Chains A and B, each alone.
Chain A
């Protein structure tokens, strides 16, 4: 579904991505692990087009998207859910969801996607009239994921969905991601710091270090110790 080859990119003088290659197949949840500052988030931004890569190839459903602007990538079926969320904080939950369905391809599917979102996040259905800036960190994270789903995406890029959340909220967010994958068949590429959570949720993981993939493992065969070691 997603094929990334030799992607390079970075910020001004600093090269962050030094030839990343990885694949995500339809229906998978793939985890992207690795120490901070080694290019995981930068890779997601490059796929989403919000911080374009400078070289290599990113193909989604057999179409080259490396030079496509973000709105074309959303239309192609990829939704990016950044760690910073970037919600429309002075608007209601419902308005955020309506904006999630802004793209041409998402509008006809609005009702169906809204049903899916309220099914996965019943709490958001209760609070659809609430203004986002008054919500807790966990609820905001749910709105961010829900807004991504509203685009009718076939693939979600989720950056650190659990960071800074209380354990119960973490479980709720992970449960939701699992349901999105299993019930709606949406593919997920996930950046995660917490190794044990990542292994339970994903089917495969990539270890990223110094801007490239160091190794790949099926999650069932990876050991926490081996992964922890790779961080250093």
Chain B
């Protein structure tokens, strides 16, 4: 009986694999319940959540509109009005340490800041961190 059950299980998994392998039917796995929110696409790899706040080194105020990039991971984000940025990284894909660049790419609207270049170390899943950027002398 156990063998029959095992064969049946294998057959079911094979059918599932065949359906999942055809792009036309992959949508069948991305369902959502009638009254629920959308399901994330399978496989939902564990994402590392990067959340940071960028402030002005002199005033301590949040800085909006800065570009935050992780060149090794080909990821970028922009700080919002409270200086906060978010991005997600696939846990399986990132090295322990990556380069992090903060660039002032907007106009002089919020002042001008020097480029900030550092190494970012992955610690645990939810580690918000803070960065301070230096205003360019005489141009703020």
Say whether A associates with B: no
Chain B positions within 8 Å of A, measured between CB atoms, are: none
